[in-house]
Structure 1
Amino acid sequence: MTVVSRHEASHERATARPARRAVLTGALALALLGTAACGGGSAAEGEAEATGAPETTEPVVLTVAWWGGPARAENTQKVLDLYTKAHPNVTFKTQWQGYSGYYDKINTSAAGRNAPDIIQIDNRALREYANKKLLADLTEAKGGTLKVDDIDPKLLGTGEVDGKLFAVPLASNTQALAVDKTLLEPLGLLPAETGWATWDEFAAWAAQVTTATGGKVWGVRDESANMSWFEPWLRQNGKNLYDGQKPGFTTADVEEWFQMWADLRDSGGATPAEVAQPANSGDISKNTVATKQTATSFSYDNQLTELAKATDHELVLVPLPGPLEGNYSRPSQFFTAYARGENVATAIDVINFFVNDEEAGAALGTERGLPPSSKVSDAIAPSFSDQLKYVVAFDERVTAEAGDTPPVPAQGDAEMVKLLITSAENVGFGRQPVQQAAEEFVTQATAALERAGS
């Protein structure tokens, strides 16, 4: 079950992220960024007309939508309040919820031509929303209302589709495992901070944990339905999730993935499907480390602060098993402006405020991930709690050896995620054998991507 990697890490990869490394090593920037006077504006369908800051003082009400937990809601509201304090004519309505069902709600409102003015999305939805002309083209706003000089060009580029900027990264993060230190340290099973060199080592460790706890706590959650872990595993094996608008993997790859997790379940190292299923929706409150059902589970590094609030156990971060080249620095979320909104120019200015204002950066912290602006990062890093500094140090260590960030996912990615969950659960619950489920997944995924791209 050992994963073989092409192991093509290079000096270029290790040095291509200067803006990210500036979080810890850059000099403290004390000059506050000025924000322009703000107000309304209009945009043609699918286009953002504003290239400079809006100047009207007429009342403007913007609706802002995001997913996340209570901590994210509190931090986001603080920034919106800061913006209104600076621009009293601009007020906000907010919509926030858990990840499950979030895009369904956005899609319904967009179908009624009444989507929120500012929409948080992730890279899995970007291409689809851009191609449907739901998002304002922000390209012309760069250098005007939207300041991007302090954002790593590679990170900023993750918000582009076909050479046009549609989304601005709110933060960045990387893949990780959240590990229950309180449980494992007394058992002598706390992994090294570098994790496991191979999947074989990880599998053996997970089974040891389950045995050591008398079966009361499993080593790891069954993550076979998790696309966010399937992709790094593919990358470790020299594959990509997508080849243009087609799957970048074969049925044999999916069979190997499903069988690996079946073996982990059989050994007792991974949870049964019924324990894993509640967390398959991506709801962080259902994370099995937070619920103390497993010693470890998949997480993004920035989620540590939120997970830690859900348990009285001490949690630490460890890289995914296998070569670090499978990991990559990714935009945790984007902010986008609704193309048909009545105040696109104002929405862009608000997005700029979230990304470039230092007081806003301090209010957001790292709950969404690391700040995209190196200047903001430098300014707020000294005030980070020990926990946030730990998250930053982990991210820096992993991304120094991580692979390149892949292109924006194919259109239809959201359907791919659902199909993987269905097929993985079919295997886990014994409804289908591994080979049949793998074949069905690849067939359905190929068809879904073809439909989405047509």
Structure 2
Amino acid sequence: MTAYHPLPRRRVLSGVVAAVLALPLALGACSSDDGAADDGKIELSFFWWGGEARAQLTEQALALYTSKHPEVTFKKTWQANQGYFDKLATLTAGNDAPDIFQIDDNYLAEYATRNVTADLSEYTKSGKIDVSKFQKGLVDYSTVDGKVAGVAMGENTQGLVYNKAKLDAAGVAVPTTGQSWQEHITWAKEAAAKAKIAGTMDPSADYKAFWVWLRQQGKEFYNGSELGFTQADVQAWFELWKGARDGKSTPTADVIHEGNATDVTKQLVVTNKALTSWVWANQLPELQKNTKDDLAVIAYPGDASKQWARASMYFSIYRGSKHKDVAADVLNFLANDPEAGKILGTDRGLPSNLDIRTQVAASTDNEAMKETIKVMDELGKNFGPAPTVPPKGHSTVRSELIKAAEEAQYGRATPAQAAEQFFAASQAAIKR
């Protein structure tokens, strides 16, 4: 464990509210925390989202750190995903934000460009936060404007989860990595006819599916702070899936709408309304909990090398924390300590440290988790370079894709009209 030396502190975050983002950074200088207490004790505030299971695991890992470093304790706060970033905005506005906070790629660039997150480059370069066992793409996908804005606490990539049990029962060959998108749609039509269940969820509203497809066309979702695709690209994407719906490869619009929900329990592969769902590969274990059928996961259609090591979520340190060195040591511990790795498992994604990942795979009796790690390791051999972290406005772009795609799915708009709607809304979102 690396030594640490307390530094000046300040309290977190900019959020989604424009007025909050415009607050002067000097506001944080008024923090009520004056540093270490007279007895040498240091309390770090720690904020994350997730369910009760994640809360328990996180608290256990932090308690382990305190057992090894009794001078460091934690003020722990967690809540469900809904409203989390609104709370961060409120904490920022009230000058009462945490030393360490969980964040994802929807907001990382936004917070980093507002100078909310500490630049962790000095720690990663010195090894005080050891990223030597991380996939290179995970480090790249944590970097904004040349500064490391967070530490990836889990890795995932896009995954096509399919119902192996129902396909086997119907005598249908399972989908395979390397099929083209049209081949997958044709497979889905044939599978639906035999299994009497829609062959594939329609992912036209799914930004990660669109992103992979774009990369396979030589495009990107973003080029810096600009869109990396054209309106014509969106139209081609929507037309691809209109053809799939017309050909009965997918369910009806009402069922597709159910699958557009982010709730794992509502994914069509576990509600028996489609034979596949388009998710993150690390979600396989959670999906498996919700069905008695055996599930499996492969890469998305097309060239799998266009997928990348994506940080499922990060921990960042507030730029004004008075205990940056201590906070960095905590992040290094959570990412690289074998005992902590065993506690945290794959709750936030597959462990970023590949050695810890191997340890978790060897020690777990969760077959879905083992399968996920195996697939991720296999895909990782061919990962291409990670794209840049999405710019501010990305969360709005994601929402606008769902709106436009559903207009096309329900037949309220043609692919061309839906593409025009999404492209205009996306341009407005990232220019705000």
TM range (shorter): 0.7 to 0.9
Aligned to 2:139: 156
In the alignment, is the contact (CA less than 8 A) between 1:80 and 1:92 conserved in 2? Answer: no
Shift of 1:95: 1.0
Aligned to 1:395: 376
Q: Distance in 2 between matches of 1:272 and 1:108?
A: 41
Change (3 A) 1:154 1:316: closer
| Structure 1 unmatched runs, 5+ | 1-33, 48-53
Matching of residue 182 in structure 1 with residue 140 in structure 2 = no
Q: Distance in 2 between matches of 1:342 and 1:55?
A: 9
Shift of 1:213: 3.7
Q: What is the aligned counterpart of 1:166 among 131, 149, 159?
A: 149
Matching of residue 197 in structure 1 with residue 179 in structure 2 = yes
In the alignment, is the contact (CA less than 8 A) between 1:333 and 1:368 conserved in 2? Answer: yes
Matching of residue 286 in structure 1 with residue 286 in structure 2 = no
Letter in structure 2 aligned against 1:398: L
- Report the 3-state secondary structure (helix = DSSP H, G, I; strand = E; otherwise coil) of the residue aligned with 1:93: strand
- Report the 3-state secondary structure (helix = DSSP H, G, I; strand = E; otherwise coil) of the residue aligned with 2:332: helix
Letter in structure 2 aligned against 1:338: Y
Change (3 A) 1:293 1:80: farther
Shift of 1:199: 1.6
Shift of 1:182: 1.8
1:193-234 Cα offsets, whole Å, 9 max, x none, are x335212221122223333343xx322222111101110011
Q: Distance in 2 between matches of 1:202 and 1:438?
A: 23
Letter in structure 2 aligned against 1:266: D
Q: Distance in 2 between matches of 1:187 and 1:225?
A: 29
1:331-368 Cα offsets, whole Å, 9 max, x none, are 12111112344544433222121112110111122232
Aligned to 1:4: none
| Higher-RCO chain (CA-CA 8 Å, sequence separation at least 6) | 1
In the alignment, is the contact (CA less than 8 A) between 1:146 and 1:352 conserved in 2? Answer: yes
Q: Distance in 2 between matches of 1:381 and 1:392?
A: 7
Shift of 1:295: 1.1
In the alignment, is the contact (CA less than 8 A) between 2:288 and 2:368 conserved in 1? Answer: no
Change (3 A) 1:403 1:40: closer
- Shifted more, 101-110 versus 37-46: the winner is 37-46
**Runs of at least 4 residues of structure 1 off by over 6 A?**
37-40
1:247-292 Cα offsets, whole Å, 9 max, x none, are 1111111011111222222222212232232443422232222222
Aligned to 1:130: 112
Letter in structure 2 aligned against 1:165: V
Q: Distance in 2 between matches of 1:114 and 1:265?
A: 50
Change (3 A) 1:73 1:187: farther
Aligned to 1:22: none
- Shifted more, 339-348 versus 54-63: the winner is 54-63
Aligned to 2:21: none
In the alignment, is the contact (CA less than 8 A) between 2:137 and 2:309 conserved in 1? Answer: no
Matching of residue 274 in structure 1 with residue 254 in structure 2 = yes
Q: Distance in 1 between matches of 2:83 and 2:265?
A: 15
Shift of 1:370: 2.6
Aligned to 2:92: 110
Identical counterparts, % of pairs: 36
Shift of 1:374: 3.7
Letter in structure 2 aligned against 1:42: R
In the alignment, is the contact (CA less than 8 A) between 1:40 and 1:60 conserved in 2? Answer: no
Change (3 A) 1:278 1:305: same
Letter in structure 2 aligned against 1:225: A
Q: TM-score, normalised by structure 1?
A: 0.82
1:376-409 Cα offsets, whole Å, 9 max, x none, are 3455443243433322221122232332211222
| 1:268-347 equivalences in 2 (<5 Å) | 268-341=248-321, 343-347=323-327
Q: Distance in 1 between matches of 2:404 and 2:178?
A: 27
- Shifted more, 266-275 versus 336-345: the winner is 336-345
Letter in structure 2 aligned against 1:323: D
Letter in structure 2 aligned against 1:183: K
Aligned to 1:97: 80
Aligned to 2:32: none
In the alignment, is the contact (CA less than 8 A) between 1:110 and 1:134 conserved in 2? Answer: no
- Report the 3-state secondary structure (helix = DSSP H, G, I; strand = E; otherwise coil) of the residue aligned with 2:311: strand
Q: Distance in 2 between matches of 1:323 and 1:271?
A: 25
- Report the 3-state secondary structure (helix = DSSP H, G, I; strand = E; otherwise coil) of the residue aligned with 2:271: coil
| Structure 2 unmatched runs, 5+ | 12-24, 29-34
Matching of residue 228 in structure 1 with residue 228 in structure 2 = no
In the alignment, is the contact (CA less than 8 A) between 2:264 and 2:287 conserved in 1? Answer: yes
Aligned to 2:408: 427
1:292-328 Cα offsets, whole Å, 9 max, x none, are 2221101222111111112222111122112213312
Q: Distance in 2 between matches of 1:167 and 1:212?
A: 47
Q: Distance in 1 between matches of 2:263 and 2:131?
A: 32
